[in-house]
Amino acid sequence: MLTRFFVIILIFIPQLLAAWGANGHRIVAQICYDNLNPDTRARVDKALGDNYLAQVANWPDYIKAEKGWDFAKPWHYMTVHADQTTQEVANANHEHADIDDVREGIELMTAILQGESDARDRLMAIMKDNKVEPLAGSLDATALAFLIHFIGDVHQPMHVGKNRDLGGNKITVLYFGERMNLHSIWDSGIIEHEKLSYTEFAAFATIHTRARKARWEKAPLNDWINESIELRERLYDTLYDRTDRETGLPDFSWNYQHDFLPVVEDRLAAAGYRAAALLNEVYK
């Protein structure tokens, strides 16, 4: 039933798919699942029932088609300006009753999976107020889908973006001759250009990044965000390194792919490893 729902959504609202893009989120989920310990994997499988982690990882994007889920849209990103620190933004957001951004989304879903009653009641109340149902009728499945998705989001540098250009959505570039915005290149362009399945990409990314796994797993949530901010600034700084003579637009092709494919692999792998480490801790 859930698979049929996904197919319908994919047919009618492809323009709503965001974040890393469908394959990017599947890659994060696959790397996460491959690094779960046996007990955690059993708990995840039980919570998801007939579904699997790489499948539900995109559910938080698919439900953007339903107006009732509009409240969750701000949970996919975080706005941190150049003159702000991650902690300053977090402190300001914690003063509000609402869940303001992806960081708070990660914290809420983690608390739900840890069994904290206040967190579970909070999400259930929000869904009830907005007349929406949990994924597969399960609060745990809902929290798992959101958590794996949000961890992917926070590792995408354009999801820790700047308001003035909507996280790169207003920046037009040429990517192998095609007009795209900077955000979409990092959502899916670099990944899809490799023409790999998500399982192939996950396998290659794991091989290339295994030596950094332990270091990445130890980093706290603020570091995940700060890494994306640092990378975001690098993307802006190098934006006009190569331009098209006719249009004056940034011109990205094989050089850009060569420079940033390893970076994309790092971000996806780090997200997967960290998600697995978090779930292993939650379910221990």
Q: How far is CA 188 from CA 27, 141, 180, in A?
A: 12, 25, 11
Lowest mean pLDDT among 70-84, 196-210, 257-271: 70-84
User: What's phi and psi for 119, nearest 5 deg?
Assistant: -65, -40
User: Which band of pLDDT confidence, cut at 50, 70 and 90, is reported for residue 18?
Assistant: low
| pLDDT at 57 > cutoff 60 | yes
Q: What's the CATH number where 223 sits?
A: 1.10.575.10
Report if residue 122 sits inside a domain.
yes
Q: What is the pTM of this model?
A: 0.92
| pLDDT at 141 > cutoff 70 | yes
Domain count of the chain? 1
Report if residue 41 sits inside a domain.
yes
pLDDT mean over 188-208: 98
pLDDT at 82: 76
Report if residue 79 sits inside a domain.
no
pLDDT at 245: 96
pLDDT at 1: 46
| pLDDT at 16 > cutoff 50 | no
pLDDT at 153: 97
Report if residue 187 sits inside a domain.
yes
For tokens 């890494």, the residue is 227
| pLDDT at 20 > cutoff 90 | no
- Which residues fall within 8 angstroms of residue 137, CB to CB, at 6 or more apart? none
d(CA 65, CA 61): 8
pLDDT mean over 175-198: 97
Position with higher pLDDT, 86 vs 265: 265
Lowest mean pLDDT among 24-33, 76-85, 138-147: 76-85
**Nearest CA among 83, 84, 111 for reference residue 99:** 111
| pLDDT at 9 > cutoff 60 | no
pLDDT at 81: 78
Report if residue 13 sits inside a domain.
no
Range of the domain at 97: 21-64+92-284
pLDDT mean over 71-84: 89
- Phi-psi label, residue 102: left if phi above 0, alpha if psi -120 to 50, beta otherwise: alpha
**Nearest CA among 38, 108, 27 for reference residue 280:** 38
Report if residue 8 sits inside a domain.
no
Report if residue 145 sits inside a domain.
yes
Where would I find the beta strands (DSSP E) of the chain? 172-175, 178-181, 251-252
Report if residue 221 sits inside a domain.
yes
Lowest mean pLDDT among 6-15, 100-109, 220-229: 6-15
